[in-house]
Structure 1
Amino acid sequence: MNPIPTAAPGASGNDYLAGRGAAWFAFAMTLALMVMDYVDRQVIVSLFPHMKREWGLSDTQLGSLVSVVSVTVALGALPVALFADRVSRVRSIAAMAVVWSSATLSCMFTRSYGALLGARAAVGLGEAGYGSVGAALIASHFPERMRAALLAGFFAAASVGSVLGVVLGGVIAARWGWQSAFGVVGVPGLVLALLYLLVKDYRTVSLTPSLQQATRSTGAAAGHIWRALSRAVTMRWVCAGAAAQLVVVSSIWAWMPSFLNRVHGIAPDQAALRAALVVLAGAAGAVVWGAVVDRAGRRRRGAKLQTLALLCLCSLAVLGGAFSFGAALAPQSQFLLVVLGGFLMTCTVGPVSAIVIDVIHPGVRSTGSSVLALIQNLFGLALGPVITGALSDAIGLGPALALMPAFGVLAALAFLRAARTYEADCQRAGEPLDAPRPPPLQAARA
């Protein structure tokens, strides 16, 4: 790992940080670790039928095994990002991969629900900050014109990893038992962590005195983040919209194998394979919609957020219809509608990260992105599985899944509000934190 000297990574907006080859190698390695991140995170959802049968767990308990990872990711994201921004992005990422892979391996040795819940929490602690630090590293290596599409691809790797995790979990559990699945998927991350040290890093960016003071501790950073959010109205609304839509995504991804197993009587390993198609459709959708949103914003930046709002409402209509009227549809027709909904519901995955990076100071991109990661994990990914599980215990899994897409309405409203201030916040992103803030009316008209 050789840091590249630079005063402001990606500051010109039009050049590669360390050359085309180094940029694509960094992208490939960061993408590969993102895949393993979500393999380790999602492998458990295809194991739910086995765990429910052997340990007698409720749906709320099963959902908590997914949600606890997102909770610990959220709690650890800011400290990790602070460390990465001020010390080393590459070494931080390698260390994270070692921790989450080792924690995944430990899951195979647990013999009680409490021990497994603790091991899953440790997986989240290892993954904390990875998405935000990885996104900042990619954004710094590539020109601005490519960032939204590349970040869409980076976060789409989460879908690919989820597909692999769901499929591998189902297949391995059917042959060697559900606990063996954790042992198989935990090893590749350790190998990739060592190889990641070959990625080129950039030297830590020199900050203004106010920013230097703001990033010395987690408490100081919290104050800095509050001030940054207060002046970047766009970021607040984008974070809210992103979290609301991820409630939908996490609900569908976590519970599709169980839905197919319980409602349609499909064997757990085959249910995992079919559920993987929904996640795979989401991976394709994240890339496609990332490019569509990029194109929509070429003439007017606010059009990006208006497009996102429309796509969230489309996913609501398709998924809500699929689960609400499933009894009147042939099983194959219902499943095809769910696949289409899966393609639509990941529309926010890449664009929201690019939009947040657009409106924060270049020297604290990892820290700023960690705010998005914290809110997405704590109020999006963590809430979806456990809310669905609790509703399932009360009214059944099918009706619960029919209700969850309604969170898309909240997402659409938030994105429409963010569109009003996006242009002005982009123009002010490079200004010092203590620069005078324009009156709200002036900022909205800028």
Structure 2
Amino acid sequence: MNSKLTIRNSQFKIESPRQILWVLTLINFFNYFDRQVIFPLFAFLKIDFALTDFELGLLGTVFMIVHAAASVPLGILADKWVRKNIISFGVIVWSIATFFSGLVNNFHQLLAARSIVGIGEAAYGPAATSLLADKFHEDKRAHVNSIFHLGMFAGGTLGMILAGVLGTHLGWRICFFIVGIPGFILAIISWNIFEKKQKHEFHVDIEKQTIYSMFKIKEYVMVLIGGIFLTFTSGSIISWITVFIVRYHNFSVQDASIYLGSIVLVAGLAGIYFGGKFADKYYKKGKPRSFLISIGFIVATPLLFVIATTSSKALLLVSLTLSTFFMAWYYGPIVALIQDIVPFHLKASAYAFYIFFVHLLGDTMAPSIIGKLSDISDLRTAFYLPIATNLIGALFFVITTRIMKKKAMGNEQLALNN
């Protein structure tokens, strides 16, 4: 495979599949860097703007509402138009909004800025995963998407660490300035991805009836429902885990950010990588990738219970490490699983609708619901809810596996009869 950048029309073009994968992974790094940086800053924002836990949770909730709502039209557009242009647009929008988050004077201005970040980031996932599906063979999709999602975990992790450290020493505004700047460069880089235009002319027609047909696919519906429960779990934990260990285990914000960031960086990246590898091996043997997702979350459930109940710092950190590893198995296979289920020409739309439903009904309300439960009782009690949703979500992926196996057996029998 040629690793050199090619020159077309006197401009550098990023053309080979491997080049495109690494560029999109780098952009995904800053996508989640910008997204997650706000959560370790909750302690500082609470003081500066005199916020309740519910109001802090709204910063995550409103972001996800806008992100979910924008994902569907932008995902459908990605099945119609040049995807690199959509990617470049998204990067520049979220970077500008992130930078201006550091200039706000009140809670409502920050809420508005984070909403705009949600619009920019909604443009990215469907377009990027659709582009990768075109560039790599289907039996490598989970591995390719696991690499793509390594950027997510690394970016989100370093965002948490940087926010905790810089927030402590320089103030929360500096964090937004720093993480917003790289996106301006990445927007230019993504514009130079080479994509064959004839595959994405505007005259390509995606009829409503075709899109509705996705929701007649039982396994796709099961994946959506399971994803909603699992995304509620992850949204709850991501938004409140720093505050949780500060309150109940006497960590400073800086130390909590460093410990959590290190755990997620090591265990999360390992989980994503091996999850993608294992899922592709299962797929090559004729087994659904959903099986691996269900196993990961089932194993993680008792570990989450330990996190919520233990008073031991050592046991807390071990359980966080192991649960992060097993829950991270999800990220590589999920995109490939959706692409296995739906017609190929709807791959971006199917993922966009997945993002829409899992965020709108999953983690959109998670931060504020956990915050409200914390205000009513306490944060430790509130954490029992995402433990329950984690197990429920895993069971829906077990059902997905059963449906896909039955369908595969039916197809084999039909082939034999013919």
TM-score by length of 2: 0.89
1:212 aligns with 2:205: yes
1:78 aligns with 2:65: no
Secondary structure of 2:38 counterpart = helix
Range 194-203 or range 112-121, more displaced: 194-203
Within a 5 Å distance, the mapping from 1:258-297 to structure 2 comes to 258-280=243-265, 281-297=267-283
1:189 aligns with 2:183: yes
Within a 5 Å distance, the mapping from 1:58-207 to structure 2 comes to 58-205=52-199
Equivalent residue, structure 1, for 2:327: 345
- Per-residue CA shift, 1:302-350, capped at 9, x if unaligned? 3x323322221111111112212x13xx212222212211111222222
Q: Distance in 2 between matches of 1:30 and 1:185?
A: 17
Letter aligned with residue 63 of structure 2: V
Q: Distance in 2 between matches of 1:376 and 1:427?
A: 29
Range 277-286 or range 405-414, more displaced: 277-286
Range 50-59 or range 179-188, more displaced: 50-59
Counterpart of 1:419 (choices 374, 396, 401) is 401
Equivalent residue, structure 1, for 2:231: 246
The verdict on how the C-alpha distance between 1:425 and 1:31 changes in structure 2, with shifts beyond 3 A counting, is farther
Once the 2 structures are TM-superposed, how far is the Cα of residue 168 of structure 1 from its aligned partner?
1.3
Secondary structure of 1:193 counterpart = helix
The verdict on how the C-alpha distance between 1:159 and 1:380 changes in structure 2, with shifts beyond 3 A counting, is farther
Within a 5 Å distance, the mapping from 1:377-396 to structure 2 comes to 377-396=359-378
The verdict on how the C-alpha distance between 1:86 and 1:213 changes in structure 2, with shifts beyond 3 A counting, is closer
Q: For the Cα contact (< 8 Å) 1:67–1:381, is it kept in 2?
A: yes
Equivalent residue, structure 2, for 1:432: none
Once the 2 structures are TM-superposed, how far is the Cα of residue 403 of structure 1 from its aligned partner?
3.3
Equivalent residue, structure 2, for 1:55: 49
Q: For the Cα contact (< 8 Å) 1:103–1:123, is it kept in 2?
A: yes
Within a 5 Å distance, the mapping from 1:11-30 to structure 2 comes to 22-30=16-24
The verdict on how the C-alpha distance between 1:238 and 1:125 changes in structure 2, with shifts beyond 3 A counting, is same
| Count of paired positions | 404
The verdict on how the C-alpha distance between 1:426 and 1:193 changes in structure 2, with shifts beyond 3 A counting, is farther
Range 36-45 or range 232-241, more displaced: 232-241
Once the 2 structures are TM-superposed, how far is the Cα of residue 297 of structure 1 from its aligned partner?
3.0
Q: Distance in 2 between matches of 1:373 and 1:305?
A: 17
Secondary structure of 2:146 counterpart = helix
Letter aligned with residue 99 of structure 1: V
Letter aligned with residue 243 of structure 1: I
Equivalent residue, structure 1, for 2:11: none
Equivalent residue, structure 2, for 1:323: 308
Q: Distance in 2 between matches of 1:410 and 1:129?
A: 29
Once the 2 structures are TM-superposed, how far is the Cα of residue 184 of structure 1 from its aligned partner?
0.7
Q: For the Cα contact (< 8 Å) 1:309–1:416, is it kept in 2?
A: yes
Q: For the Cα contact (< 8 Å) 2:139–2:284, is it kept in 1?
A: no
Range 37-46 or range 48-57, more displaced: 48-57
Once the 2 structures are TM-superposed, how far is the Cα of residue 24 of structure 1 from its aligned partner?
0.8
Q: Percent identity?
A: 25
Q: For the Cα contact (< 8 Å) 1:249–1:346, is it kept in 2?
A: no
Once the 2 structures are TM-superposed, how far is the Cα of residue 150 of structure 1 from its aligned partner?
1.0
- Structure 2: stretches of 5+ with no match in the other structure: 9-13
- Per-residue CA shift, 1:125-162, capped at 9, x if unaligned? 11113112111111111112211111122123211111
1:363 aligns with 2:351: no
Q: For the Cα contact (< 8 Å) 1:308–1:415, is it kept in 2?
A: yes
- Per-residue CA shift, 1:14-41, capped at 9, x if unaligned? xxxxxx9710111011111111111111
- Per-residue CA shift, 1:229-277, capped at 9, x if unaligned? 21x2211111221221122222222212111222222221221111213
The verdict on how the C-alpha distance between 1:149 and 1:282 changes in structure 2, with shifts beyond 3 A counting, is same
The verdict on how the C-alpha distance between 1:270 and 1:224 changes in structure 2, with shifts beyond 3 A counting, is same
Counterpart of 1:301 (choices 284, 287, 296) is 287
The verdict on how the C-alpha distance between 1:292 and 1:104 changes in structure 2, with shifts beyond 3 A counting, is same
Once the 2 structures are TM-superposed, how far is the Cα of residue 60 of structure 1 from its aligned partner?
1.4
The verdict on how the C-alpha distance between 1:305 and 1:292 changes in structure 2, with shifts beyond 3 A counting, is same
- Structure 1: stretches of 5+ with no match in the other structure: 5-19, 215-219, 429-437
Letter aligned with residue 306 of structure 1: F
Once the 2 structures are TM-superposed, how far is the Cα of residue 213 of structure 1 from its aligned partner?
5.1
Q: For the Cα contact (< 8 Å) 1:233–1:425, is it kept in 2?
A: no
Q: For the Cα contact (< 8 Å) 1:35–1:158, is it kept in 2?
A: yes
The verdict on how the C-alpha distance between 1:272 and 1:117 changes in structure 2, with shifts beyond 3 A counting, is same
Equivalent residue, structure 1, for 2:315: 333
TM-score by length of 1: 0.84
1:227 aligns with 2:220: no
Letter aligned with residue 404 of structure 1: P
